[in-house]
Amino acid sequence: MFKNSSFLIDITKCIGCRSCQVACKRWNQLEAEKTHNTGGHQNPPLLSAHTWTLIRFKEFEKKEKLHWCFTKVGCMHCEQPACASVCPVGAFTKTETGAVVYNDKVCIGCRYCMIACPFRIPTYEWKKAFPFVKKCTFCFDRQTEGTRPACASACPTGAIAFGTRTEMAKKAHELLKNNPEKYNPHLYGEKEVGGTAVMYLAPKGVEFKELGLPELAERPLPTWTWNALRFVPSQIVVVSAAMAFFYWLTKRKTKKKDVNKEVRHDA
């Protein structure tokens, strides 16, 4: 099993081939979805319940130089995840692999996690009768068996380096030190919101916000949410717990009905 894992995504190496996107779909058996041409290379345009990672395409001109940047986006697997801190039923866990994993068995569908995430990552199965939240799992299943995440294994250029967070930060700082003419000197994700397991290097002259990565403070978000949540009346916590119970009961009944139907069908 891998521990304290991290990605170091080097945007200067990404060629936008989207092998990582396809590998994620294949490994996680995510169905294809209808998409449309948005006038750029980015396809599909947004993350969804069926697309847990995508290549964000940005094209811009600066000082008469044309920049074409491809940024692999998905869950950042925050060291102190805001999604976990706001979830009233504890559906998110930061595991020792480094992955932030979601437990659909306890989720009550309140979607606080979607609002709290500073990177706007969790998505929802809007079209299902009993929907769940969906996001990149950091291939927790593969990591626990000692196999690298599917997207990192598929990348043909080495743009997605995988290792411990300490190794990835060390590698990034060596690259920055030895190639000041190539890189923006900032390692994104090292300190933002208390640090993330996914870190990025960008080309020199390109700001992370121009790539769609938000400018965030170093303070972990759960310290803010905790300050706010401690003023939430205890009745709301009780109502949340009751909602969780009824939601669980409904799901259980539906599952039972489905099983009975299948049994009758088989007989």
Binding footprint of ligand SF4 on the chain (CB under 6 A) = 14-20, 23-24, 27-28, 52-53, 55, 70, 72, 74-78, 81-83, 100, 117, 119, 121-122, 135-139, 149-151, 154-155, 157, 159-160
Residue 149 and residue 162 in contact, taking contact as beta carbons nearer than 8 Å: yes
| Residue number, 42 or 184, with CB nearest to ligand SF4 | 42
Minimum CB distance to ligand SF4, residue 19 (Å):
4
| Residue number, 198 or 244, with CB nearest to ligand SF4 | 198
| Residue number, 184 or 192, with CB nearest to ligand SF4 | 192
Task: Establish whether the linkage from the previous residue to 233 is cis, with ω within 30° of 0.
Answer: no
Residue 67 and residue 205 in contact, taking contact as beta carbons nearer than 8 Å: yes
Please calculate the CA angle 47-166-139 and round it to the nearest 5 degrees: 35
Minimum CB distance to ligand SF4, residue 100 (Å):
4
Neighbours of 254 (CB within 10 A): 12
Minimum CB distance to ligand SF4, residue 142 (Å):
7
Minimum CB distance to ligand SF4, residue 254 (Å):
27
| Residue number, 209 or 246, with CB nearest to ligand SF4 | 209
Minimum CB distance to ligand SF4, residue 214 (Å):
11
Residues 6+ apart with CB under 8 A from 104: 91, 132, 133
| Residue number, 112 or 184, with CB nearest to ligand SF4 | 112
Listed in order, strand segments (DSSP E) in the chain are 5-10, 54-62, 65-73, 92-94, 100-102, 123-124, 133-134, 160-164, 198-201
